[in-house]
Amino acid sequence: MRTKIKIKDKFYEIEIFEIRENLIKVKIDNEDYFFTQNNSQELIFIEKKDLPFLEKKEEKEILYTLPREKEIKSPITGVISKIYVKEGEEIGVGKTVATLIAMKMENEIISESAGKVKEIKVKENQFVNTGQVLAVLE
């Protein structure tokens, strides 16, 4: 698909290619940008340094090459009702790490990183604060 958009009086020529399932290239004025999707259908930008890997890798592996943080932190305060990952398990972006209950809301906490779970820092039924580390990835 090719289109033009205007931002603050400047026109940009944009071309979108689906290279294969879950890998999209967006060409903006002859510059290439690559994106993949997580489980919530959000587009995740892939940095150029990861590009050499992309052509050879499967979808699952692409996710592992994404920039990542080593700690998965609780985004809100609540009580852990269930933990869904185990130490040593390989997890991808979008994997449910735990369910956290607060104010009768059930919150699925998903990972935005990919990697091997090195350590789980919390237990079921434990109260956690916002920002508290739930799990550490290798």
Partner 1 sequence: MIFMEILFYQNLSSTNLEAKKMVKKRFLPWTVIWANSQSKGYGKEKRFWFSPPGGLYFSIILPKISLSNLQILTLASGIAVIKVFARFKIKANLKWPNDIMIFEKKSKKFKKIGGILVENVIGKDLKISVVGIGLNTNIKKFPKGLQESATSLQIELKKKVDNERILKSILKELKKILKMNNGKIMVEYKNCQNTLGKKIKIFTKDKIFLGTAFNFDRRGYLLVKLEKGQVVKILEGDLNYEFQRRN
Interface positions with partner 1 (CB under 8 A): 38-42, 75-79, 81, 94, 96, 101-112, 125, 130
Closer Cβ to partner 1, 22 or 81, answer by number: 81
CB 9 to partner 1: min, Å: 31
Closer Cβ to partner 1, 25 or 75, answer by number: 75
- What would the 3-class secondary structure string for the chain be? CEEEEEECCEEEEEEEEEEECCEEEEEECCEEEEEEECCCCCEEEECHHHHHHHCCCCHHHHHHCCCCCCEEECCCCEEEEEECCCCCCEECCCCEEEEEEECCEEEEEECCCCEEEEEECCCCCCEECCCCEEEEEC
CB 130 to partner 1: min, Å: 8
Residue type, 43: L
Closer Cβ to partner 1, 6 or 104, answer by number: 104
CB 32 to partner 1: min, Å: 25
CB 60 to partner 1: min, Å: 18
Closer Cβ to partner 1, 7 or 103, answer by number: 103
